[in-house]
Amino acid sequence: MDLLRIILAVLLPPLGVFLQVGLGLHFWLNIVLTLLGYIPGLVHAIWIIAKVGPRQSVAGGQL
């Protein structure tokens, strides 16, 4: 499933982040980074997908 999220993140970085963590801080941060430049949004999206489990926040809390 992570491979699908990474492929979607390459096409549209906020979509990959949304599928990983939902509508949280990292989703909105990724939208801002993507608007500032595709590469920062892509790097952030891949980092989130690689480091964070599905539907978890970075702090480890539950939604």
Is 61 contained in some domain?
A: no
Is 57 contained in some domain?
A: no
| Tally of domains within the chain | 1
What does residue 56 show for φ and ψ, rounded to 5 degrees?
A: -125, 150
CB burial of residue 62 (10 Å; 0-12, 13-18, 19+): exposed
Beta-carbon count within 10 A of 8 CB: 19
Claim: this prediction has a pTM higher than 0.85: no
Which domain does 30 fall in, by range?
2-51
Segment 25-40 shows an average pLDDT of 96
Tokens of 59: 């702090």
Contact criterion met (CB below 8 Å) for 28 and 34 = no
Percent of the chain clearing pLDDT 70 (strictly above) = 81
Name which residue leads in pLDDT, 2 or 15.
15
Is 63 contained in some domain?
A: no
